[in-house]
Amino acid sequence: MRAAALLLAVLAWPAQAAWEWSAPLTVNSVQGAAIFPHLESANRQGVAVSGDTVGVVWEDNRSGSPQCYLAMKPATAAAFKPEIRLSQADCFEPVVLALGAGRFVTAWEEAGTVHARVLPGGTVLQLTQAEAAQVTLAIRGDALYAAWAEQAGRFRRIVVARLTVNADALGVKTAQPVEAAMPADEQGWPALAVAGDGSVTVAWEDRRSRHTVPMVSHSRDGRSFSPPVRLTDIESGSAPGGLGAGTGAMRPTLTARGEQGVVAVWLDKRDFLSGYDVFAAIDTGNRRFGKNIRVQDNFGDNMAQWHALVVGDARGRLVALWDDARDGTPDVWLSEWEGEAFGDDVAVPGAAGPGGQSDPVATFDAAGSLHVVWLERGETAGTRIRYAHAERN
Amino acid sequence: MNLIKMLLAASCLWVGAALADPPPGYPFVGYDAGLKAARASGKPIFMYFGRYGCAWCDHTNKKTFSDAALKKLYTENYELVYVDAESGKRLTLPSGERITEAELGVRLQAFATPLFVYLTPQGDKIVQIPGFKTVQDFRDYDRYVRGGHYKQKTLLEFLGGKS
């Protein structure tokens, strides 16, 4: 028994040694059995670090209707400040991005259109007049972009906008659909990344092939986009007998990585009997994604993975996170790119163990620390939004 | 007449867009509408958790839900709800929590489609059954649910005891 424990400790050592985690903190100041916070958003952008300030956004129903909130904390502080309410009407799927020096830009869906605001200070800018949802943001230098899914006839399509920031005021410089033609089926859940060369990559869910396929397009200038191609290397097609249209894949996320790279991670049901798996594809800089790579290790094989995302940084670090219940209850898992493949899955301490820990969002700060936020569901006390950061040692 | 045809065509298109791949001819509705209808009618809910383009859903629709007697049985005795496993469309759980249809799959720990879920008129889960099923399977599940056997037995116990 002791030998088995020693063996397990030795096997686990390389992964455990990789990240040194802070003690988790609670982000949301109001909890209750009938209050339901959500961290869902396009590209899962629920946390950002701007200078020495951490910002977290979410939606909950504490006021009796779904509203969006931002909580901030100096990096060294032991607690988050009371949250700021961002919205006035029903609000969903907020995102946050660092502008630097403690400033953030946030965006969200409110009353059927998408809005954005610089914080602290700033006023709300309504980004669309048309019905729109699932907004996301990306920045490189002073080039700030937003993307969202906007109603165009019967279906939604993806629109990309270049935004301007003057002090605390946001503006829309340009906004145009990725494709000029009207959508042939539903499009949604866009993800954006701005690479080191300034080019913009946008990925989204697309149903033009009569099943859900993550598609991707690039733009050198943020205005003219290449014809979309699929992220998945599984072709569409019916099963024998003309059944169906293809396997499912959903919720693509993107991150810029290194000098020129862009990496995508999504949920993929090509193995349709074991739920969604986490898959990735890497664009090293030629604006073409390589072969699909399965992210989670074999211990996650017969288990559905959920809420996957990818985060990278300019130094080349690359981490995928998700939740699954391989140990009996949902835990947050992390896998780091090791040059040729993703490494062993590591449970995030504080986001694993008894109870349910799920819905991770994450970001790297400028110094390379990893910041992770997740939901911790309690039976009676309600759901807490939890935060921890980790240093690579 | 042309206007009526146009409205009918638009209605069919909308249903196709919003509901993805439920079996044709069945009065499936969204989750919120189905829960509301069940509370009013007192009928249990039969929820079809499908995926857009899903081959096994298509197979079940063609082989099983094409049966006229089964269609009559389920249409008359259940509130029929269709949920799209990858949709961002929102629904409200009996707890009051508002989530997306895709997130409902997380809560159900759905690992394959189709997934068939029987619910009480109040929205509490009775049993969930994944994968292709035959007409006879659905007749057995109906007896289990509407006969109230789920209050005393698991589905496996019930099916093991049938003659």
Q: Is residue A14 in a domain?
A: no
- Contact predicate A99/A142, CB 8 Å: no
Are A238 and B55 a contacting pair at CB < 8 A? yes
Using an 8 Å Cβ cutoff, are A292 and A342 in contact? no
| φ, ψ dihedrals at A217, nearest 5° | -145, 155
Nearest to A372 by CA among A331, A326, A325: A331
Which residues of chain A neighbour B23 with C-beta distances below 8 Å?
none
Whether the complex's predicted ipTM is more than 0.90 is answered with yes
Report yes or no on B95 lying in a domain: yes
pLDDT at position A41 is 98
Q: What are phi and psi of B147, to 5 degrees?
A: -80, -5
User: Is B94 contained in some domain?
Assistant: yes
Distance between CA B21 and CA A185 in Å, rounded?
A: 14
Does a structural domain hold residue A269? yes
B76 domain residue, yes or no: yes
pLDDT of residue B16: 37
Q: Tell me B122's DSSP state.
A: T
In a domain, A108, yes or no: yes
DSSP tag of A111: T
pLDDT computed for residue B9 by the predictor: 37
Mean pLDDT of A22-51: 97
Token duo for residue A310: 């990818």
Is A5 inside any structural domain? no
Question: Where does residue A41 rank: exposed (0-12), middle (13-18), buried (19+ CB within 10 A)?
Answer: buried
Q: How high is the pLDDT of residue A336?
A: 97
pLDDT average, residue stretch A290-305: 93
Question: Tens digit of pLDDT for each residue in A158-210?
Answer: 999 999 999 999 999 999 999 999 999 999 999 999 999 999 999 999 999 99
B101 with B85: CB under 8 angstroms? yes
Cβ within 8 Å, pair A304-B110: yes
Q: Is the pLDDT score of A347 beyond 50?
A: yes
For residue A234, give Cα distances in angstroms to A230, A268, A357, B59.
9, 10, 31, 21
Question: Within a domain: residue A15?
Answer: no
How far apart CA A113 and CA A128 sit, in angstroms, is 6
Distance CA A306, CA A314 (A): 26
Residue A156 lies in a domain: yes
Q: Is pLDDT above 60 for B17?
A: no
- Would you state the pLDDT for residue B162? 61
Pick from A206-215, A239-248, A286-295, B98-107: least confident: A239-248
A219: Cα within 13 Å, side-chain hemisphere: 20
Q: What is d(CA A38, CA A46) in angstroms, rounded to the nearest whole number?
A: 10
In a domain, B6, yes or no: no
The token pair at A336 is 């780091």
Q: Which residues of B touch A66 (CB under 8 A)?
A: 98
Nearest to residue A252, comparing CAs of A185, A202, A292, A286?
Answer: A202
Cα distance between residue A222 and residue A231, in whole Å: 20
* B122: in domain: yes
Q: In this structure, is residue A4 part of a structural domain?
A: no
pLDDT at B1 over 60: no
Bond before A120 cis per omega within 30 degrees: yes
Average pLDDT value for residue range B127-151: 98
- What's the number of domains chain B is made of? 1
Residue B86 pLDDT grade (very low, low, confident, very high; cuts 50, 70, 90): very high
Does B53 reside within a domain?
Answer: yes
Domains contained in chain A, number: 1
CATH number of the domain to which B71 belongs: 3.40.30.10
- Which string of DSSP letters, residue by residue, matches B46-103? EEEEE-TT-HHHHHHHHHTTT-HHHHHHHHHHSEEEEEETT---EEE-TTS-EEEHHH
Q: What residues contact residue A263 under an 8 Å CB cut-off, 6+ apart?
A: A254, A255, A257, A280, A281, A282, A283, A310, A312, A318, A337
Residue B101 placed within a domain: yes
Cβ within 8 Å, pair B96-A34: yes
Cα B105 to Cα A271: distance, rounded to the nearest angstrom = 16
Note down the domain range covering A375. 21-392
- The Cα of A116 is separated from the nearest Cα of chain B by a number of Å equal to 21
Query: CB count, 10 Å around CB of A368?
Result: 12
The CATH number linked to A361 is: 2.120.10.10
**Does any CB of chain A come closer than 8 Å to the CB of residue B115?**
no
> A-chain residues within 8 Å CB-CB of B110?
275, 304
User: B54 is in which domain, residue-wise?
Assistant: 26-160
Q: Is residue A359 part of a domain?
A: yes
Cα three-residue angle B154-B158-B159, rounded to 5 degrees: 115
Which of the four pLDDT bands, split at 50, 70 and 90, describes residue A17? low
**What is the rounded distance in angstroms from the CA atom of residue A369 to the CA atom of residue A351?**
17
pLDDT digits (tens, 9 = 90+) for A61-96: 999 999 999 999 999 999 999 999 999 999 999 999
A-B C-beta contacts closer than 8 Å? 89
B17 contacts A186? CB cut-off 8 A: yes
Evaluate whether residue B3 is within a structural domain.
no
